Amino acid sequence: MKFIQKTIPMIYIVMFTIILFILFFYSGVDYYLKRELFIPNLLILLIIVPIFLYYYFCIKETKDIAEKKYYKYLTIISIVSYVLQIILTISIYFYTDWDVKVIREIVNEYMENRSLNNNFYLSLYPNNILFTAILVLIKSIPIFGEHYLFLLGINCILVNLAGIFTSLTIKNITTNKLSLLCFVVMIPLVVLSPWIVIPYTDTFAILFPILIVYLYTKKSRKKIDYYLIGLLSLFGYYIKPTVIITFIAIVIVEFISNLSIILDKSILKQNIKKYMTIVGMVIIGLMTAISLNKLSYKILNFKPMESVNPVTFVHYLSMGQNDQTLGAYSQSDVDDTIAKGEKNNLKKFFNRLTNRGFFEQINFFSKKTLLNFNDGSFSWGLDGTFFYEKTDCKNKFSEILREFYYNDGKYYKLFIQMTTILWIIVLFFCPFIIKKSNTKNEMVLMLSIIGITIFLTIFEPRTRYLYCYSCIFIVTSILGLERLKRIIMEINKKKKI
């Protein structure tokens, strides 16, 4: 336990020191997919300071909110948020292309032929098979399923639930009062993000990481909780592979913190039944997820093309070192993978990595960090022909909203800037979660953020992939904000003494 209490926070603080340094002092450089921001990141510190001072002096140390009142507020916030989500969705929704369009067409193909046998895209990207099956099931719902807005309504529910479980996770760790505070940033940054009108894995998987962490942070876990942690981890992985990072974080923390018990035969013997039950329930959950994934093949009546080799992590490893795109999506890399296979990708990875000198490596990974973190809109509008097919504008209010969220709108740059300010504020407070002796809950949060950061640094980067983990960042940031307040209060007390 002492080992992870020292090691994880050390890695975490070094990582965040680098990220924040790059964001504040290196963001002026040109890099692939750079956003046009009219407020330099360094000036955002002038916004962060008064926010913290207001929290420090004006949010008084009063009695915590009662349970009944907390759930009442949570219900009201969630209902109002969902209504606002639906209004936003109806006002601005459109049809995008890239993978979203491809999967939409595949679903339509299935509805016509009742088979996706030998589908090239799913053979190449089998990670989208379960997600496609889910969309097929939704579209098969009588009366409602055929309507695109119904699908977007489900999309909104998933994001809304992620907001609810973000609050509940903070509640598990700290106070009811603090857990409601998260909505100040959660609603504008995540719940009302325009990503709710894009029915893809980023939104469909957003619930999994925070729900897994919520189950883990419960004060008393039951057998069903361990089953659900296993089920949700692997089921979420089949939709969005990065979901598994939270599960890996939990396994690492639990294994190392219980290592002394595992190594002590006498203590292990006394607790063997308890541990076997926990591990057994997790394994049953994992097996259920595997079965559901296999079921999706049968639902779609899908068999992969024998002539097509599925894309593996090696492709993303190689593409992640592309100097032109800073590792982001490259059609030439995809074509190369299809034509030459994964062995060639390993050679390409090592060649790209080793051909850069020391300072070139620093420059490359610094720019890649900016690509990952310097965009609070989570890469909104940057994939393919993003605004592929716009819908008719319903009214004047809809026109105004589209001026913010459409890339040809008058206030589009303002939307990008405001969300980036919110995101950098969230990132700024994350490091302050560190204390002398962090709990296992806090270490799982830190390790999850370390994991997703390493993943995006090594493999394909895009802020869009962080949208799925935005709730984890917000939980950590809120805890960091409160921790910073406690640090300053302790310093002031010592000065008075």
What is the per-residue pLDDT across 212-240, written as a single tens digit (0 to 9) for each?
999 999 999 999 999 999 999 999 999 99
- Model confidence at 343, pLDDT cuts 50, 70, 90, reads confident
- In one-letter notation, the amino acid at residue 280 is G
Alpha-carbon dihedral 434, 437, 67, 58, rounded to 10 degrees: -50
pLDDT of residue 60: 72
pLDDT of residue 217: 97
Quote the tokens at residue 177: 């009062």
- What's the average model confidence in pLDDT over 176-190? 95
Which residues are CB-neighbours of 143 under 8 A, at least 6 positions away? Answer: none
pLDDT of residue 257: 85
The larger pLDDT score, comparing residue 363 to residue 1, is at 363
Task: Label each residue of 150-190 as H, E or C.
Answer: HHHHHHHHHHHHHHHHHHHHHHHHCCHHHHHHCHHHHHHHH
pLDDT of residue 162: 98
Q: d(Cα 78, Cα 67) in Å, to the nearest integer?
A: 16
Q: d(Cα 19, Cα 457) in Å, to the nearest integer?
A: 11
Q: Which is nearest to 226 in space by CA: 158, 286, 293?
A: 286
Res 269 pLDDT > 90: no
pLDDT of residue 55: 87
pLDDT of residue 394: 82
pLDDT of residue 59: 75
Residue 105, exposed/middle/buried by CB under 10 A (0-12, 13-18, 19+)?
A: exposed
Report the chain's mean pLDDT, rounded to a whole number: 93
Res 149 pLDDT > 70: yes
pLDDT of residue 236: 97
Which range of 237-251, 265-279, 324-338 scores highest in mean pLDDT? It is: 237-251
pLDDT of residue 1: 65
Kindly report each contact of residues 72-75 with a partner whose C-beta sits within 8 Å and lies 24 or more positions away, as own/partner.
Answer: 73/180, 74/164, 74/167, 74/168, 74/180
Residue 271, exposed/middle/buried by CB under 10 A (0-12, 13-18, 19+)?
A: middle
What DSSP state is assigned to residue 209?
A: H
